Structure 1
């Protein structure tokens, strides 16, 4: 695993996810979205770099990253109560209290879709848009799935981007649930290894 800073991770992930249907739903303003994504992904990066599994492909800078949650870890991005910002506090500050509560309520369904058996959850897999199509995301995904399998775990993820479903299927995951998020939210494909 190559070294990666939270700043590098948040920048890469913001660029990778700026047009993702979930991020467009979260942050509809095109000009604000890259910055809001970077702040949110910065919290996740800090968390996973401290306690998760983070795989990265570097050239002169990081071009692909995968962040996995393992059994027994806190939910990704959950700060200790005395550490600021918390994910909920950040979302409220960026979206406003009403919209943050609406989105938080809609997203709560994701936990219910995860496999009951012990699992490794792929929270984030992002590839620099200039490097897509080079197999970097697939390489990181295969490494993480193999590591989960080696630990006797199911590998799982949620994607809100329909273009990602065939990619994940080609790497051994299958759709277990397809759910439309409440309100005007996107569809979620909850996927896992067999």
Structure 2
């Protein structure tokens, strides 16, 4: 299995059934199909214009984008359109999320953690914290703050332990879960 396949598999397993994924795409089969394509495109975009960080085992995958003048995009225009086409009648959810996320996104230069996925087989074992801590040490050394949107209260608590702070009120998705914007100053 190629490195990209392992990373896509990890992301698919990590996001298979979380509340945000169900809000975007309630049908599990449709979600799996769209997410597979989406993650392949995101990994390619981040590989060219950001950073994809994954341990040798591929059980944790981080997608970081450099945000120097506002919110960065996970996809180029062509891939964004492809994602909306794949989403079909759920494309409006992707647009809603994108608009709400961009509205809240900090304008100060930072590194944006667009995605982090940990294989469910090792969630809660410290793998995600260890992998993420390594990236945060790098941003600290560069004097660069970080930003993310936690997709659950559980992940928010993890990020609080790693030095992130709430960045305003939660973002409430229409008819869906809340996301927690979080900022971490460089130490």
Aligning the two structures, in what range does the TM-score lie when normalised by the shorter sequence? Answer: 0.7 to 0.9
TM-score, reference length from structure 1: 0.83
- Counterpart selection for 2:23 from 22, 25, 30: 25
C-alpha deviation, 1:72, in angstroms: 4.9
**For residues 65 and 106 of structure 1, do their structure 2 counterparts lie closer, same or farther at Cα, with a shift above 3 Å needed?**
closer
Which segment drifts farther, 116-125 or 102-111?
102-111
- Counterpart selection for 2:165 from 170, 174, 184: 174
Q: What corresponds to 2:135 in structure 1?
A: 144
The CA deviation string for residues 109-157 of structure 1, in whole angstroms up to 9 with x for no partner, is 2122222321000011111111112211111211222222222221110
Structure 2: runs of 5 or more not aligned = none
C-alpha deviation, 1:107, in angstroms: 2.7
C-alpha separation in 1, matches of 2:21 and 2:61: 18
Q: What corresponds to 1:121 in structure 2?
A: 112
Q: What corresponds to 1:71 in structure 2?
A: 67
**For residues 131 and 153 of structure 1, do their structure 2 counterparts lie closer, same or farther at Cα, with a shift above 3 Å needed?**
same
Alignment length (residue pairs): 181
- Quick check: 1:40–1:87 contact (8 Å CA) kept in 2? no
**For residues 16 and 56 of structure 1, do their structure 2 counterparts lie closer, same or farther at Cα, with a shift above 3 Å needed?**
same
Q: Classify the secondary structure of the residue corresponding to 2:102.
A: helix
- Quick check: 1:67–1:124 contact (8 Å CA) kept in 2? yes
**For residues 72 and 172 of structure 1, do their structure 2 counterparts lie closer, same or farther at Cα, with a shift above 3 Å needed?**
closer
The CA deviation string for residues 71-97 of structure 1, in whole angstroms up to 9 with x for no partner, is 359511225x4xxxx22332233333x
- Counterpart selection for 1:50 from 30, 48, 51: 48
Structure 1: runs of 5 or more not aligned = none
The answer to whether the aligner puts 1:163 opposite 2:143 as a matched pair is no
Which segment drifts farther, 86-95 or 160-169?
86-95
The CA deviation string for residues 19-56 of structure 1, in whole angstroms up to 9 with x for no partner, is 22111111101233223211111110111122211211
TM-score, reference length from structure 2: 0.86
The answer to whether the aligner puts 1:95 opposite 2:93 as a matched pair is no
